[in-house]
Amino acid sequence: MFARIDRYLLGLFWGSFAAGLLIFLTLFIASDAMSTLVKYKGVSSVIFLQYYSYFAPEVIYKMIPVACVVGTVMTISTLNKGSELVALFASGLSLLRISRVMFVSITLLGVFSYYLSDQLMPLFNKQKNFIFYSEMEKNPSLYQTIKTNKIWYRSKNAIFNIKTLNAEGDRAQGLSLYFFNDQWDLVQMLTADSVLMSGSQWLLKHGTVTVFDKESSFPLNDKFMEKTIVMSQDAHDLRSTGQTSDILTQAELSRFISKNKEAGLDTIRYEVDFHSKFSFALAGLVMSLLALPFCVGQARGGGMAKNIGICLGLVLAYWILHSTSQTLGTHGQLSPILAAWAPNVFMIGLGIFLLLRSKR
């Protein structure tokens, strides 16, 4: 009998989950596409289709926890509506026992969510960014294929290589800057141990200037302690270069954090992102656990509409707490681990407390 009940609950849950995921995915992409179409009027429909095909996995990743809550709420509501939940309680089954098969499914979805963010999304995000900067922004120089050991960037007749760059895009370590003339002959090279970037003005520290003169058989070298140069490309364009977490796997991000620490750069934002990849994979489980006691309490008195309102309210509450915690973490007010896991711990504690009070 129990196996038959579990199969029945699985059918209800996965049907509601799939419907919820499809609805939220469609709404999110449709609303984003409308604003994008207005902003980039000259871009062909083929480019838009390619862009959103690579963007879809990221949207699915963000919507999986929401769809898990929808699946949980709608399954319990359906049982309530047909008085099946009362019959299950009367047969001696607890609310947790009834929900067990759903939580197993949500846990498997969490594993898939982590795999999606760690292995698949970096590949899709690289292609999405390439299409965005090359075909939509028409400025391919802003697109960066970030590696953990070097960053290459072109600004008009200058090419520079940066070993490491902080998340704000205003401080770098290990700069090599190459200047070319109109015939693309190398005329000057600058190297610096560290760089402070303030708009288009860059302050180079502890470096060397090398001048290549056709009339001289050897390049001319001159060392400096500090040197200010003016770049034609505003340094704020490099902010996208510093945001690397979405195109790195967990292992690559870990190595990237280590290299930045060795270079003396701030790694707090990267560390928060690193731990958040683990914690967000459990967001669906956390929110569904919190929603469970509300489903039982509200179904008798208000029906499906109340449960949908509860679903949206819980999702909003979690996102507010998650965003607040992330912001505090990136600004150093919370440790990276606490910033990533505090919302989950708080919501799990609240969910267990409410389940114990429900006595189901």
Binning pLDDT at 50, 70 and 90, where does residue 297 land? low
pLDDT for the residue 84: 84
State what percent of residues in the chain have pLDDT above 90: 29
Mean pLDDT of 181-189: 84
Mean pLDDT in the chain? 82
Six-digit token pair at 322? 């998650």
The answer, yes or no, to whether residue 266 has pLDDT greater than 60, is yes
The answer, yes or no, to whether residue 240 has pLDDT greater than 90, is no
pLDDT for the residue 129: 84
Q: What is the largest CA-CA distance in the chain?
A: 97
Mean pLDDT of 223-248: 68
| Interatomic CA distance for residues 111 and 105, integer angstroms | 10
pLDDT for the residue 148: 38
Maximum mean pLDDT: which of 36-50, 79-93, 109-123, 179-193: 109-123
Q: What is the pTM of this model?
A: 0.74
Give the per-residue SS3 of the chain: CHHHHHHHHHHHHHHHHHHHHHHHHHHHHHHHHHHHHHHCCCCCHHHHHHHHHHHHHHHHHHHHHHHHHHHHHHHHHHHHHCCHHHHHHHCCCCHHHHHHHHHHHHHHHHHHHHHHHHHHHHHHHHHHHHHHHHHHCCCHHHCCCCCCCCEEEEECCEEEEEEEECCCCCEEEEEEEEEECCCCCEEEEEEEEEEEEECCEEEEEEEEEEECCCCCCCCEEEEEEEEEEECCCCHHHHHHHHCCHHHCCHHHHHHHHHHHHHCCCCCHHHHHHHHHHHHHHCHHHHHHHHHHHHHHHHHHHHHHHHHHHHHHHHHHHHHHHHHHHHHHHHCCCCCHHHHHHHHHHHHHHHHHHHHHHHCC
Binning pLDDT at 50, 70 and 90, where does residue 145 land? very low
Q: How do residues 11-61 score in pLDDT, each as one tens digit?
A: 999 999 999 999 999 999 999 998 888 888 888 889 999 999 999 999 999
The answer, yes or no, to whether residue 235 has pLDDT greater than 60, is no
Mean pLDDT of 151-175: 74
C-alpha 56, offset from chain centre: 13
pLDDT for the residue 338: 93
